[in-house]
Amino acid sequence: MKKKVTIIDIGSGNILSIKRAFEKWNAEVEITYQKEKILSASRLVLPGVGAFKNAIDKLNSKNFCELIPEIKLKEIPLLGICLGMQLFFDESEEFGKFKGLSLIKGKVKKLPISSLNRERLKIPSIGWHKLILEEKAFSFKAGKFFKNFNTQDQFYFVHSYCARPKEKDVILASYNFGGHLIPSIVAENNIIGCQFHPEKSGPFGLNLINNFISL
């Protein structure tokens, strides 16, 4: 039986590439913003590229915040990708201060401009990075999300802002950015966020997508 995945349509430019990535695993994928379909989904994906304010305004215009309690109550696995992950937090400082979805406590802040050696860092951060996993990552969802994960695997990032969770326990993986550890995978209960783009990260990203389907 095909696994059903529902992508929340917020007009993001990377929706079709995400759809194709899930379809590689024979998933039945639907792109929608209909309340009934979102709440009846078995897996949800919140994509995102662009500015925080534009995305949160779109979600607010569709009254998405009203669906959050039901999504949490039903424990529907929800995967946020790149900006989609940042939207999970309380607030972003991108081009001002804007409230997020408050699914995970914390703020979204600009990437550091200097390394720990005081060298200038290039922003946005664009490129491939290995993930540094926390020990607790392998017990998350009984280790299913990191099945077949290798510490040498690299994932594709492109971002200027990053999440700063209030509680460190939600951080499952980070990457090294000039000596700074940047949260790359966060999770709390049914909520999972990836700062990188798994749909653009070759076989390693596709493996994580398959693992999400299998949760």
Domain ranges of the chain: 4-213
Q: Please tell me the chain's helix, strand, coil percentages from 3-state DSSP, rounded to the nearest 5.
A: 30, 30, 35
Confidence (pLDDT) at 142: 73
Please report where in the chains the tokens 């540094």 appear, as a residue: 132
At 24, the amino acid letter reads K
Catalytic positions are 82, 197, 199
The β-bridge relationship of strands 161-165 and 106-110 is antiparallel
Q: Is the pLDDT of residue 2 over 80?
A: no
Question: Given pLDDT bands bounded at 50, 70 and 90, which one contains residue 13?
Answer: low
CA–CA separation, 72 and 84 (whole Å) = 17
**Which tens digits make up the pLDDT trace of 87-140?**
999 999 999 999 999 999 999 999 999 999 999 999 999 999 999 999 999 888
Q: Is the pLDDT of residue 203 over 80?
A: yes
Assess if CATH 1.10.645.10 describes domain 4-213.
Answer: no
Verdict on whether the full-model pTM lies above 0.85? yes
DSSP letter for 191, please.
E
- Which residue spans within the chain are E strands per DSSP? 4-8, 28-32, 44-46, 78-81, 91-92, 98-99, 106-110, 125-130, 132-133, 154-159, 161-165, 171-177, 180-188, 191-194
Neighbours of 167 (CB within 10 A): 11
Question: Given pLDDT bands bounded at 50, 70 and 90, which one contains residue 65?
Answer: confident
Confidence (pLDDT) at 1: 67
Collapsing DSSP states into helix, strand and coil, what is residue 193? strand
